[in-house]
Amino acid sequence: MNAYKNKLKLRMVFSSVMSVVMLVLMIMENKGFFNASDIVLKEDFFRGFINGMSLAVIFTSIINCIRYISMLKNKEKLKKYYIRENDELKNQIVSDVGKNEYYFLVYGLAIGIVIGGYINIYMFWSFYIALMYYVVVRSVLAFVYKFRYKTYMNSDNDEI
């Protein structure tokens, strides 16, 4: 259970850092430090998007930190959330969804690239960059987890 407590504390730190980063980003955009919005979008629209996204992340992070603090103070809540988070059926469902969502996303974005190419060059590049980002992130994560599990399996075999 101590490992789960440390995991929650790490999540709280990450949420706090994300809140601070988004708050700084929002302040910098409102003070006019970024001029990219003049080129791509109308300045007010971009500023509104940054403010909305920043406030959503900050609000969600605060709610999560409050929830984590209450879980750390109450052992029954901690145990309940630990069981909920480590439920085998839920983990199997998420695993099965992950196997199939890859194909839907890749083919959907590939179709978007083709259609976007006929409509607008910016749509083409947007879909292309989204596809490349997804494929690269998924490949890196697959490599990391494969290496981690292979190392874990080799260490278990040595102890037998």
Instruction: Please answer whether residues 77 and 8 qualify as being in contact, where contact means their C-beta atoms are separated by less than 8 angstroms.
Output: no
Instruction: Please answer whether residues 46 and 40 qualify as being in contact, where contact means their C-beta atoms are separated by less than 8 angstroms.
Output: yes
Residue 41, φ and ψ in degrees, nearest 5? -130, 170
Averaged confidence pLDDT in the chain: 84
Tell me the per-residue pLDDT of 4-18, one tens digit each, with 9 for 90 and over: 889 999 999 999 999
Mean pLDDT of 32-51: 66
pTM of structure:
0.62
Tell me the per-residue pLDDT of 86-100, one tens digit each, with 9 for 90 and over: 888 888 887 888 788
Q: Look at residue 63 in the predicted model and tell me its pLDDT.
A: 93
Name the residue among 99, 112, 110 with its Cα closest to residue 138: 99
Does the pLDDT at position 160 exceed 60?
Answer: no
Residues 131, 136, 139, 140, CA torsion sign: negative
